[in-house]
Amino acid sequence: MSEIAKRNLKPDAGTTLRKVLKMGLESYMRDFEVVSVSATKEHSLEKAMAKMSVEWEPLVFNISKYKETNQYILSSVDEIQAQLDDHIVKVQTMKANPFIKPFEKEIRDLEDRLLLIQNIIDEWLKVQQNWMYLDPIFASEDINLQMPEEGRLFTTVDRNFKDIMKHVVKDTRVNRKLF
């Protein structure tokens, strides 16, 4: 606004409405309105981003015991996937907003993280499904003797899957790396 009026309009402790009215800024009101509308829209986008961050705080990965073992598996992720879908749509809508310029990098980074998490969960569930199918098969010594290479490969996947699940059991929060 100072740039538009070509003078310092930054308020200080002595600024009053009377002083501002005496400055004769009426001719700049339309330009000031454009600045005000832009600032308001940018602020709305900033608040929406902050709200999304807060909405992730209560979400946790649901885990349950696998059969009658000490191993845990990821259970229902419907709430997380719904949140991901909702926030991906919101972020993509924000990207199309002409007032996003000051937050463009932040929004693109957030979209990348959301899409990555969505992909990770999708792959995680596929690996878990395969692991649950193969675990009882490779628990048999006969199978491991008949298929030693496959047994070694499964052992590697088994170890990695169990390590990941140990970390999840310790900290089930979804947002620990998102925001």
> In this predicted model, what pLDDT tens digit does every residue of 100-130 receive, in sequence order?
999 999 999 999 999 999 999 999 999 999 9
Distance, in Å, from the CA atom of 26 to the CA atom of 5, rounded to the nearest integer, reads 10
pLDDT of 48: 94
pLDDT band of 172, cuts 50, 70, 90: very high
pLDDT band of 178, cuts 50, 70, 90: low
Number of residues written out for the chain: 179
pLDDT of 72: 96
Distance, in Å, from the CA atom of 119 to the CA atom of 126, rounded to the nearest integer, reads 11
Q: For 9-35, what is the mean pLDDT? A: 87
Q: For 75-89, what is the mean pLDDT? A: 96
Helix (H, G, I), strand (E, B) or coil at 83: helix
Per-residue pLDDT tens for 23-60?
Answer: 888 888 899 999 999 999 999 999 999 999 899 999 99
* Residue 62 host element (H or E): none
Per-residue pLDDT tens for 130-160?
Answer: 999 999 999 999 999 999 999 999 999 999 9
pLDDT of 179: 62
Q: For 76-86, what is the mean pLDDT? A: 95
Q: For 58-81, what is the mean pLDDT? A: 94
Of 91, 82, 68, 70, the closest CA to residue 121 belongs to 82
Radius of gyration of the chain (CA): 27
Local structure of residue 57 (DSSP, 8 states): T
Of 121, 129, 112, 111, the closest CA to residue 62 belongs to 121
Local structure of residue 13 (DSSP, 8 states): T
Helix residue ranges, H only, the chain: 2-5, 17-22, 29-56, 78-95, 104-138, 141-146, 148-170
**How far apart, in Å, are the Cα atoms of 157 and each of 37, 129, 135?**
55, 12, 10
Residue 2 confidence (pLDDT) above 80: yes
pLDDT of 177: 58
Domains of the chain: 2-170 (1.20.140.100)
